[in-house]
């Protein structure tokens, strides 16, 4: 091998290492949820008699979905159903924030939908929790200082 090929081989190796490093989060394994666990979660949702119990069952199912690698969309949809079942629940908002923390855009969409769903005066505590979560998103991963200040002002109004 000639000495002129050594830098080429090193550059190709560095390129491949960079590609592997960038793809690494998609390759990481999370625990898989069994079909039986999904069936039990669906049965609990269907058997729930009222809004708060149904919201808790939907949150449990959403937690199962959020644990999967590609379960972000399903988890957001289940959390939105939970919010519609019990719109004034702070627990639902807190569980959604905890589970969807790694997916800031999905969490942002969910929180805006929650704020648009019912009048803010109807459930002040859940509205405050949603506004606090949005402000922390805009101060953190989404990085929008103007939106964070606007949400802080809206939080003070509520």
Confidence (pLDDT) at 70: 76
Let me know if residue 128 belongs to a domain: yes
Distance CA 71, CA 33 (A): 10
Domain of residue 150 covers 35-157
Phi, psi at residue 71, to the nearest 5°? -100, 15
Q: 91: burial class by Cβ within 10 Å (0-12, 13-18, 19+)?
A: middle
Domain assignment present for residue 104? The answer is yes
CA dist., res. 125 & res. 102, Å (int): 24
- For the record, the structure tokens of 98 come out as 């905890």
Domain total of the chain: 1
Domain presence at residue 70: yes
How high is the pLDDT of residue 77?
A: 95
User: Consecutive sets of 10 residues in the chain, 158 residues long: mean pLDDT of each?
Assistant: 82 92 65 81 92 94 86 91 94 96 94 94 94 96 94 93
In a domain, 5, yes or no: no
Domain assignment of residue 23, yes or no = no
Q: Of the candidates 117, 68, 121, which has an alpha carbon nearest to the alpha carbon of residue 92?
A: 117
Give the tens place of pLDDT for each residue, 54-75.
999 999 999 999 888 777 899 9
Task: Please report, for the domain that includes residue 91, its CATH number.
Answer: 1.25.40
Model confidence, pTM: 0.78
pLDDT of residue 130: 96
| Structural domain contains residue 2 | no
- What are 119-139's pLDDT values in tens digits? 999 999 999 999 999 999 999
């Amino acid at each position: 091998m000639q000495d002129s090929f050594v830098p080429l081989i090193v550059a190709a190796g560095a390129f491949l290492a960079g590609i592997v490093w960038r793809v690494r989060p998609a390759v990481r394994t999370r625990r898989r949820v069994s079909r039986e666990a999904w069936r039990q979660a669906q049965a609990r949702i269907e058997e729930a008699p009222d809004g708060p119990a149904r919201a808790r069952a939907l949150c449990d199912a959403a937690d199962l979905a959020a644990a999967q690698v590609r379960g972000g969309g399903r988890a957001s949809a289940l959390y939105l159903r939970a919010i519609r079942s019990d719109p004034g629940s702070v627990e639902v908002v807190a569980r959604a924030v905890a589970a969807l923390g790694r997916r800031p855009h999905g969490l942002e969409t969910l929180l805006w939908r929650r704020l648009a769903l019912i009048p803010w005066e109807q459930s002040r505590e859940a509205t405050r929790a949603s506004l606090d979560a949005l402000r922390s998103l805009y101060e953190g991963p989404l990085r929008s200082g103007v939106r964070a200040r606007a949400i802080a002002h809206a939080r003070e109004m509520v």
